[in-house]
Structure formats: C-alpha cells, structure tokens
C-alpha cells in the first residue's frame, strides 16, 4: 500500500544555531514554554519526526481487531490489532475530507467507516471502498488513498510505541538502559503480566507539557511541593513514604540515572530495606489492617511480597517525550496546547495474585493523585503564570552542575548523580535540541 506523506509542516525551522541559543548548558529560555510557534514545531518534531512516541499498552487492546483512540502529539491516532493480532497505528483522519473516522475511545472493529461520506478502511489502513464509485474517474486508485500510517509500531513487553521515522532504531535500542528499568517495573508483576484496564485519572493543567517532564525526574521538589502530603501523613505519627526527601536527599543512597535519548530514572529503592518495607512505609489505605491480617494468615512467607505488590515501584522512570512510569501507574503526557496539558495516570492491576491484592493496589493508586499531584500541577500552573514576564528570560537547570563528586559513571557507562541534580533536564534538553534542529520531519 502506498501511504500518504506530508512534507514538513509549514513553519520554518529555526535551525540548530537559533535553538542552541535558547538551550544553554545551565538554562533554557522561557519561550520554550510559551511560544505557540515553538510548540507547533515540537508537535511535528518531538512528537513525530524521528522520535518514538508512547501510544498505548497492549492490555488495552486485548483481542484481535481491538482498537484504541490516542493522540500522537496533536494527531488523532487509532492503535489497532488486525485479525491476526498484529499491531498497527493509523491517523484517525479520513483520507477524503479529513473527518475523524473513529469517535469511540476503544472497542473492536475490523474496519472503520467515515461518518461523513462513508469511505471505509480496514483496521490496517487500506481503503476498502467509497460509496457510488462511478463518481470517480479511471485515474482513481484506491491503493493511493489509504489512511496515513504511523510508519513503525513496536511493543516493548506490552508498551506500544510508534514513530513516523521509517529508519528509526528499534524501540529496544532507543530505550537503551531504560529497558532494564522498565524490566524491573514489569517483572514486579508475577509472570510480567501488567493490565491497564482500571480507569485513569485524566488530570489537566494550564501549563506547558514539559513542566510535567521537568518534574517527573526532579528529586529536589518533594520536600517543598509535597509538604501538605507529608504533613497529612504525620497526622498519626510517622510521615511514611517520601519522608526521605525531606532530610538531605543528596546524602542518602537514592540516585538519579541518565539513560540516554532524554530518558532518566530516580531510584528511591535504596531508602527501603527488604521485603515488606514498601508496604510498611505506605500511607494507610482503606482496608489496610484487615487486608494485611488476611494476607499474612493465608500466605505466610510469601506475604511480604504480596503486600509490596500493592505499593508503587519506588522508581520514577521518565521515557522521553511522553511516558512516565511512576508508582504502579503508567502516566502519559498529552500536550493540548502550548499552555495546556493532560497528564493521564493509567491505573494498573497485575496477574497471578489474589484479587484483594489488586483491590489494595487501587486504594494505593488513589493516594498520590488526590493529595500529591494536585500540588505539583498547581505549581506547574504558577510557573506558567510566572513565565508571562518577558524580561525574566531564563529557567535554570543548573543544580549539580560543576558540583564535585556528584556525577559518577557506572561500570555500564550510565552517568548517575545525587537525586536533586537537575542533570535530567540538561540531558533531555540536549535530546530535544537534536530533534528540533532536524531540517525535516524524517
């Protein structure tokens, strides 16, 4: 099938020199968060171009001919399984007059018929038919009018990514060392079975999408941004989970790791010691006492493992540009406009555990979206308001720069640093600058 390819979007590229002036070693320019023109170019080059973009999880497409509506940047996209179960992604945009074909969030369909004029496409993108075909002349070739396809779609152990770049490296190569961290997160589930069908907190904020990415790898903010949560947790004594951010987070064993291509991770696990420690340090969930009693009575030596499975992974894994694997949730950054973003927290269950373990996972996954994330997003919105001052041009990302002894290179070549180092920003902006400096979308 011949697929349609747009040439590069109309906005002229600034070129590397111009963007390099806005992304310096220690700071980035405010316009990266405020200018419509830069946002428009990001939607083409960072959420398209040569980048891989996270689209969906395989468990959201559970059977042959399943589909799910998503966004790839601002592009409406349908991720599909064909009748054999293979994955595809097509633009949700009729090749005739551009109407979206699919207006459901998810379901099963072998084909999509445009509600406007009735053009019908297979779930793999080929044009099957047009109503009253005699109205098209002999030059009309159906094979030229299939849906615009996302050039490549690959799954890494259930995480589905798409790229418009035919010659992109494989997903596993692009993930690089991030794949190993994703493995840890996935392999916490018995048999690696993670299921994303437990509803989602779709949280919107009036700020640029990068504010979410800046923050996800930020070990500096919790002691301040999350004071309300830490204070709440101390209502009954110990302040529990995340209290370790409050006292010199740079002196403990917690580290941030740079994983290439803009990816990074904060590893909070060194703050815990052994099986049952995640559970013991979690703020109390509804039903906690009865649940623990039952699990310990019925599962003996295996109880600590099951209890810990109800608690988050204690890593913050950021995969550029739009996937944040934090706690037990799969977060997706969905830009809506230069100053408006949806952050979707997909809740997860796991296979191979007693049902009450997954129920307790639900109660744990309601904690941070209620009492933590809203304070973060309030700060994102206030950053966006602060950025309205044109004369104050810069956002700093210089914490840890030139601090002796912070950055270390591991035996695997991975650079790590203290958890509050803003190195994760400096690294992802280097990747951003490369993407934005490309001359074409390919």
Partner 1 sequence: MSSRIPPEYADTSSWSYHVDEQFYAELARQSALLREDWPEAGVTEIVEAQSFLAREARLIDVGRFNDWLEQFTDDCLYWVPVTAGAGDPTVEVSHAFDDRRRLTDRVYWLRTGLAFSQIPASRTRRVIGNVETTVDPVTGERLVRSNVVVHEFRAGVTKTYPGWYGHVLRQTDDGWRIRLKQVNLLDSDQIHENLTLVF
Spatial distance between the Cα atoms of 5 and 8, rounded to a whole number of angstroms:
9
Establish whether the linkage from the previous residue to 321 is cis, with ω within 30° of 0: yes
Select the span of 69-77, 136-144, 341-349, 396-404 touching partner 1 (CB under 8 A): 341-349
List the x/- string, 140-169, binding to partner 1 by CB under 8 A.
------------------------------
**Residue with smaller CB distance to partner 1, 270 or 287:** 287
Helix (H/G/I), strand (E/B), else coil: 364: helix
List the x/- string, 32-61, binding to partner 1 by CB under 8 A.
------------------------------
285 binds partner 1 (CB under 8 A): yes
Which residues within the stretch 359-378 sit at the binding site for partner 1 (CB under 8 A)?
A: 359, 362-363, 365-366, 369-371, 374-375, 377-378
Which residues within the stretch 244-283 sit at the binding site for partner 1 (CB under 8 A)?
A: 283
227 binds partner 1 (CB under 8 A): yes
- Alpha-carbon torsion 340, 321, 312, 81, what sign? positive
386 binds partner 1 (CB under 8 A): no
225 binds partner 1 (CB under 8 A): yes
Cβ atoms of 434 and 321 closer than 8 Å: no
**Residue with smaller CB distance to partner 1, 184 or 371:** 371
From residue 291, give the alpha-carbon distance in Å to each of 280, 285, 295, 357, 375: 13, 10, 6, 8, 30
Name the CA radius of gyration of the chain, rounded. 23
CB of 211 to partner 1, least distance (A): 14
CB of 231 to partner 1, least distance (A): 5
- Alpha-carbon torsion 43, 430, 52, 254, what sign? negative
342 binds partner 1 (CB under 8 A): yes
Q: What is the DSSP letter of 302?
A: G
384 binds partner 1 (CB under 8 A): no
- DSSP track, 118-168: --EEETTS-EEE-SSGGGS-TT--GGGSPPPBPSEEEEETTEEEEES-TTP
List the x/- string, 291-330, binding to partner 1 by CB under 8 A.
x-xx------------------------------------
Beta bridge partners of 341: 205, 335
The residues, ordered by sequence, that sit 6+ positions from 79 with a Cβ below 8 Å of its Cβ are 55, 56, 61, 67, 68, 70, 87, 88, 89, 153, 160, 162
CA angle 337, 435, 261 (to 5 degrees): 105
347 binds partner 1 (CB under 8 A): yes
286 binds partner 1 (CB under 8 A): yes
The residues, ordered by sequence, that sit 6+ positions from 107 with a Cβ below 8 Å of its Cβ are 66, 67
331 binds partner 1 (CB under 8 A): no
- DSSP track, 62-112: -STTEEEEEEETTEEEEEEE-TT--EEEEESS-TTT---S--SSEEE-SEE
CB of 290 to partner 1, least distance (A): 5
**Residue with smaller CB distance to partner 1, 178 or 326:** 326
Residue 156 CB neighbours (<10 A)? 21
Select the span of 50-58, 68-76, 211-219, 224-232 touching partner 1 (CB under 8 A): 224-232
List the x/- string, 77-116, binding to partner 1 by CB under 8 A.
----------------------------------------
CB of 194 to partner 1, least distance (A): 14
Select the span of 55-63, 165-173, 273-281, 287-295 touching partner 1 (CB under 8 A): 287-295
List interacting residues with partner 1 (CB under 8 A). Answer: 197-206, 225, 227-229, 231-232, 235-236, 283-291, 293-294, 342, 347, 349, 355-356, 358-359, 362-363, 365-366, 369-371, 374-375, 377-379, 381-382
């Amino acid at each position: 099938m011949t697929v349609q390819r747009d040439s590069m979007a109309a906005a002229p590229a600034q070129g590397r020199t111009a963007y390099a002036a806005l992304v310096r070693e220690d700071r980035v320019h405010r316009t990266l968060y405020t200018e419509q023109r830069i946002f428009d170019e990001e939607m083409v080059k960072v959420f398209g171009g040569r980048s891989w973009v996270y689209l969906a999880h395989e468990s959201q497409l559970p059977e042959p001919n399943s589909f799910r509506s998503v966004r790839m940047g601002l592009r409406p996209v349908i991720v599909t399984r064909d009748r054999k179960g293979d994955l595809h992604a097509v633009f949700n945009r009729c090749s005739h007059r551009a109407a979206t074909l699919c207006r459901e969030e998810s379901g099963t369909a072998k084909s999509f018929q445009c509600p406007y004029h009735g053009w019908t496409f297979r779930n793999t993108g080929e044009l099957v038919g047009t109503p009253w075909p005699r109205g098209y002349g002999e030059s009309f070739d159906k094979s030229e009018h299939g849906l615009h396809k996302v050039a490549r779609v690959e799954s890494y152990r259930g995480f589905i990514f798409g790229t418009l770049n035919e010659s992109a490296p494989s997903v596993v190569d692009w993930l690089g060392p991030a794949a190993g961290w994703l493995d840890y997160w996935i392999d916490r589930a018995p048999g690696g079975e993670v299921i994303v069908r437990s509803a989602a907190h779709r949280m919107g904020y009036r700020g640029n999408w990068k504010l979410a990415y800046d923050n996800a790898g930020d070990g500096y903010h919790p002691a301040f941004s999350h004071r309300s949560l830490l204070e709440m947790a101390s209502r009954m004594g110990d302040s529990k989970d995340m209290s370790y951010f409050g006292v010199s987070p740079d002196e403990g064993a917690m580290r941030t790791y740079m994983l290439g291509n803009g990816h990074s991770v904060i590893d909070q696990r060194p703050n815990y010691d052994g099986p049952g420690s995640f559970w013991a340090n979690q703020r109390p969930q509804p039903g906690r006492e009865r649940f623990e009693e039952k699990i310990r009575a019925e599962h003996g030596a295996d109880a600590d493992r099951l209890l810990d499975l109800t608690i988050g992974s204690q890593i913050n894994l950021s995969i550029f540009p739009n996937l944040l694997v934090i706690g037990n949730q799969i977060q997706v950054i969905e830009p809506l406009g230069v100053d408006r973003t949806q952050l979707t927290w997909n809740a997860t269950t796991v296979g191979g555990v007693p049902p009450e373990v997954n129920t307790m996972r639900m109660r744990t996954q309601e904690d941070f979206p209620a009492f933590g994330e809203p304070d973060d997003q309030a700060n994102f919105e206030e950053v966006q308001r602060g950025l309205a001052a044109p004369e104050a041009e810069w956002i700093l990302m210089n914490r840890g720069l030139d601090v002796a002894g912070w950055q270390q290179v591991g035996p695997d070549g991975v650079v790590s640093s203290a958890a509050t180092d803003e190195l994760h920003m400096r690294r992802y902006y280097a990747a951003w600058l490369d993407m934005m400096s490309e001359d074409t979308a390919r």
